[in-house]
Amino acid sequence: MNALWGVLIGVVIFAAGAAAGDMVSEEVRTRLDEVPMTLVRLAARRAGADVSADLLDEWQGELYEILRGAEAKPITRLWKGLRFSVGLIVAAPAVGRALRRQPVPSSGSSTVLRARRALVIQQGDHVEVRFSTFATGPRPIVATPEDVRHSVRRFSYSGRPVSRTMAWWFDSWLTQRTTT
């Protein structure tokens, strides 16, 4: 009889322990999901009062999809949620500025080609420039070979064509006037 009681009490304790474990797990999961959600709210505030409500509405919807996609994997959910929300915190001011339609800061007029990084290949008097990052104004950019050659010469150390093939990364701002 005592053995029967012992088994019964053991089963009850096991069931209670399992239920408590589930509750703690659910509690922890819910709390962890709140961390990225809180960060998204912070990101929306950083974007500015006039756009924060719409952005929060949008980002919460996306965060929900991200967290749902990683269902039943608490660490993965937390990791993906944190990546999404921390990225937004960093980018939120830029998003706010863009949505308020502030023009992109520019150092020149709108009719210039601005290259931040370019590969310059020079062979004799033949100069070829390949831009990796560039910005254009509203007009189509038409840079003639002569324009490019002139511009590159301005930044070369000698200003004279060299007799052998040269290639280097041009890593500053190259401003090229274009047709107006």
137: left (phi over 0), alpha (psi -120 to 50) or beta: beta
**How is residue 177 written in tokens?**
């006037």
The stretch near other proteins (CB under 8 A) out of 27-35, 60-68, 147-155, 157-165 is 60-68
- Using CB under 8 A, which of 88, 120, 148, 152 touches other proteins? 88
Span interacting with other proteins, options 19-27, 54-62, 148-156, 168-176, rule CB under 8 A: 54-62
104 binds other proteins (CB under 8 A): yes
Choose the stretch contacting other proteins; rule: CB under 8 A; options: 4-12, 18-26, 121-129, 164-172: 121-129
Burial 92-127 (b: 16+ CB within 10 A, else e): beebbbeeeeeeeeeeeeeebbbbeebebebeeeeb
Binder of other proteins out of 29, 33, 78, 128 (CB under 8 A): 128
Q: Which of 2, 31, 49, 68 binds other proteins (CB under 8 A)?
A: 68
Enter the tokens of residue 33: 């999901």
Residue 74 makes contact with other proteins by CB under 8 A: no
Residue 66 is a binding residue for other proteins (CB under 8 A): yes
One residue of 25, 38, 60, 165 binding other proteins per CB under 8 A: 60
State which residue, 140 or 159, has the beta carbon closest to other proteins: 140
Among 48, 36, 33, which Cα is nearest to 91's? 48
Distances from the Cα of 165 to the Cα of 126, 127, 128, 151, 152, angstroms: 9, 10, 11, 18, 15
Run of H or E residues at 122? strand 112-124
The minimum distance between CB 62 and other proteins, in angstroms, equals: 5
CA distance 34 to 19: 23
* 82 phi/psi in degrees, rounded to 5: -65, -40
The one among 50, 65, 173, 179 contacting other proteins by CB under 8 A: 65
Q: Which residues bind other proteins (CB under 8 A)?
A: 57-62, 64-66, 68, 83-88, 90-91, 94-96, 98-104, 106, 110, 123, 126, 128, 130-138, 140-141
